[in-house]
Amino acid sequence: MTDRNRTLTRKKPIKQPPVLFDKTQAIIKKLNTLLGGTIISYFNNPRGSICHDDVVALYELLETLGKTPEIYIFIKSSGGNGQASLRLVNVLRQYCDRVIALVPLECASAATMIALGANEILMGPMAYLTAVDTSLTHSLSPIDRDNERVSVSLDELTRVVRLWQAQRTDSDSRENPYQQLFQHVHPLVIGAVDRAESLSIMLCKELLAYHILDEAVADQIANALNAKYPSHSYPILYEEAERIGLRVSRMPSQINALLLELNELYSEMGQRATTDYDDTHAHGNEILNIWESTKLQVYYQQDKDWFYRTEERRWITLNDNSSWRRIQKVGNTVQKSILHIT
């Protein structure tokens, strides 16, 4: 493609994801009435994750709502930063006496940690929590075929060593499995993952301490979530959540139906809006994280150019205008602004 043709191609309109504020607010209003309390919703699209910026976004909502006896929090997320989960629950607890988690669908990893900080978890028919054993993407992690760093978990490393020890013969009994493992995983990564595992257990105990005073019970739940399951994404369904000691209840069908409807709208907002210029140039717009409550929605929109660097076999970003954005209804007007979070 010539430079002139590329310039003409880039003049095509950039696709934008839909922002369905009026529709989501209508469902938030219905949920508030049915629950008899205040609801806050938190949604990640498949490429979004729980992060420390979420704490500021949640604070914006809570400052607008003010203090209230009880808050219901709808969570739909595949996880993220566990330390951010602790901060989110800590902020919530400063604005209410009781937190109830609403889980109609996926509430995985660090999202499960948020649910641990709730006095009660209401689970729908399709709801599940997961294990919270920590996986870590380190600057020295191995590289995959797309030249990206991969996450490493302590459970995976432990299983490799255990398998080697179980299958070793007399001829290699003097060999150390870590000598071979270090050829693929840097020793500093192994140390960092081991440290992260201890942190994960500590975070779970801190979150449970908000409503469980019996330390033995909190220890049992924290250790089960960190060590019991063979897979990080193992779905912990209602019955299993009860068995490990979590305070769970069945979600009323009417509430579940409205939350699924709300999730559908958020999923539409979170769809990829990619404008392709040619084989190696594109512009991406995508809403990753959404927070919402009465008359206020705060979301993070990724907004940047993508360029595929062929020699490195990876995409790099240019002209990054990604930001948190705020929509608030004041009287009969809807005000939109950028929320500056650094």
**DSSP secondary structure string, 180-195?**
HHTTTS-HHHHHHHHH
In a domain, 223, yes or no: no
Q: Say whether both 246 and 119 belong to one domain.
A: yes
Query: Rounded distance, CA 21 to CA 265, Å?
Result: 9
- Looking only at Cα atoms, what is the longest distance across the chain? 80
In a domain, 23, yes or no: yes
CATH of residue 91's domain is 3.90.226
Q: Say whether both 107 and 245 belong to one domain.
A: yes
Q: Say whether both 318 and 260 belong to one domain.
A: yes
Q: Say whether both 157 and 183 belong to one domain.
A: yes
Q: Say whether both 31 and 124 belong to one domain.
A: yes
Q: Say whether both 106 and 246 belong to one domain.
A: yes
Query: Rounded distance, CA 99 to CA 294, Å?
Result: 17
pLDDT tens-place string over residues 310-327: 887 788 888 889 999 999
**Mean local confidence (pLDDT), 34-63:** 95
Categorize the per-residue pLDDT at 121 as very low, low, confident or very high, splitting at 50, 70 and 90. very high
Residue 27: both structure tokens together:
């469902």
- pLDDT attached to residue 19: 94
pLDDT tens-place string over residues 54-93: 999 999 999 999 999 999 999 999 998 889 999 999 999 9
Is residue 321 classed exposed, middle or buried when 0-12, 13-18 and 19+ CB atoms within 10 A define those classes?
Answer: exposed
Q: Say whether both 125 and 145 belong to one domain.
A: no
Categorize the per-residue pLDDT at 273 as very low, low, confident or very high, splitting at 50, 70 and 90. confident
In a domain, 291, yes or no: yes
Beta strands in the chain (DSSP E): 38-44, 70-76, 98-103, 120-123, 135-136, 152-153, 248-250, 273-276, 281-293, 296-309, 314-318, 323-330, 333-339
- pLDDT attached to residue 190: 72
Q: Say whether both 184 and 276 belong to one domain.
A: no
Which residue, 292, 251, 283, 287, is CA-closest to 267? 287
pLDDT tens-place string over residues 164-222: 777 776 555 566 777 777 777 777 777 777 666 677 888 999 999 999 999 999 999 99
In a domain, 170, yes or no: yes
CB 338 within 8 A of CB 323: yes
Q: Say whether both 284 and 153 belong to one domain.
A: no
CB 86 within 8 A of CB 64: no
Q: Say whether both 268 and 142 belong to one domain.
A: no
Residue finishing a domain among 176, 193, 210 = 193
- pLDDT attached to residue 86: 95
Domain that holds residue 86: 3-130+235-339
Residue finishing a domain among 162, 177, 193 = 193
In a domain, 265, yes or no: yes
In a domain, 22, yes or no: yes
Q: Say whether both 126 and 142 belong to one domain.
A: no
Q: Which H/E stretch holds residue 303?
A: strand 296-309
Task: List the beta bridge partners of residue 123.
Answer: 103, 250
Query: Rounded distance, CA 169 to CA 37, Å?
Result: 64
Instruction: Give the count of domains, the chain.
Output: 2
Residue finishing a domain among 178, 193, 208 = 193
In a domain, 126, yes or no: yes
CB 262 within 8 A of CB 34: no
Q: Say whether both 117 and 16 belong to one domain.
A: yes
Residue 145: both structure tokens together:
């075929």
In a domain, 227, yes or no: no
Categorize the per-residue pLDDT at 1 as very low, low, confident or very high, splitting at 50, 70 and 90. very low
- pLDDT attached to residue 2: 46
